[in-house]
Amino acid sequence: MPNDLAFSKFHALGNDYLVIDPTRTAFDLEARLVQALCDRHRGIGSDGLLLGPLPVPGDPQAFGLRIFNPDGSESEKSGNGLRIFARYLLEAGHVHGAGCRIHTTSGTAEVQYLAPDGSLVQVDMGLPAFRAGDIPFTGLAAHLEVLQVPLFLPTGPVTITALSVGNPHCVLFPGSVSAAEAQRLGPRIERHPDFPNRVNVQLVEVVDRRHIRIEIWERGAGYTLASGSSSCAAAAACRRLGLVEDRLRVLMPGGAIDIAFTDQGRILMTGPVQAVYQGRLHGGWTP
């Protein structure tokens, strides 16, 4: 049981995470426990939980990370989660130097510390994949790209572009964006049957060729103030549709993330990380 469980709390632009380090504290992973720890009323409260560092078979220099949503589900990737975990690794003394490699179920990400204290971090988020089979999206043949296709909701059709940046995303361009609209459409799209693994949802407003504004509904977390992988997905969708330059700023309610595409089309994500506190669960707490 989680008695005396030690944890660290961080946020990235208002997207907050707990870090639990299994090399420092015993943790019996269970979906119900993740839900209870992330509960803002009865637990610690967060938009997700990061478990690591874990050993990476065949790559002793890399740091393994598992990422959980507040509903207890596991995600393949998280942009803010990767930056937060990178800062944790530095603060905890697991990493010494200018960068590290973090391994999640979606693969290995190269991380660079742009500030020596880990407060500004860049992550190579890899190549976006727009093919239906990569997301997965079952509304098109697996080899076709999901670029501005209709998705039918009970309230009527919407036009979507969907992609994977390691985790699945669905991007809409409603003209202007609002939290209310993200909260209205988000849950319907997240659980649409054409997304068998569910999906993260972004509403995007193109401000100009170097700035986009997004509102986010996250799979397994709901409405959040910021999301790193969502920033990458929205930027990659805009680039693919010819709407932006190769360097742009993604504006979210919690703040901004900078995105740059390499010549090969890889997504470099840069953003801040704030350490909040370290704590221990009360010995008598029960999930």
Ligand X SMILES: N[C@H](CCC[C@H](N)C(=O)O)C(=O)O
Task: Indicate the residue among 12 and 56 with the shorter CB distance to ligand X.
Answer: 12
Task: Indicate the residue among 213 and 219 with the shorter CB distance to ligand X.
Answer: 219
According to DSSP, residue 131 is labeled B
Q: Verify binding: residue 272, ligand X, rule CB under 6 A.
A: no
Residues in region 172-211 near ligand X by CB under 6 A = 200
Task: Indicate the residue among 96 and 163 with the shorter CB distance to ligand X.
Answer: 163
Alpha carbons 129 and 132: distance in angstroms, whole number: 9
Q: Residue from 8, 35, 46, 80 that binds ligand X (CB under 6 A)?
A: 80
Q: Verify binding: residue 69, ligand X, rule CB under 6 A.
A: yes
According to DSSP, residue 220 is labeled T
Q: Candidates 74-82, 171-179, 187-195, 235-243: pick the segment binding ligand X (CB under 6 A).
A: 74-82
Return the exposure string of 264-277: e unless at least 16 CB atoms fall within 10 Å of the residue's CB, then b: eeebbbbbbbebee
Residues in region 35-54 near ligand X by CB under 6 A = 48
Q: Is 3 annotated as a binding residue?
A: no
Q: How far is CA 230 from CA 174, 202, 263, in A?
A: 16, 7, 21
Residues in region 219-238 near ligand X by CB under 6 A = 219-221, 227-230
Q: Verify binding: residue 161, ligand X, rule CB under 6 A.
A: no
Within 38-189, strands assigned E span 49-54, 63-68, 74-75, 99-104, 107-113, 120-124, 149-153, 156-164, 168-172
The binding site for substrate consists of 15, 69, 79-80, 167, 200, 218-219, 228-229
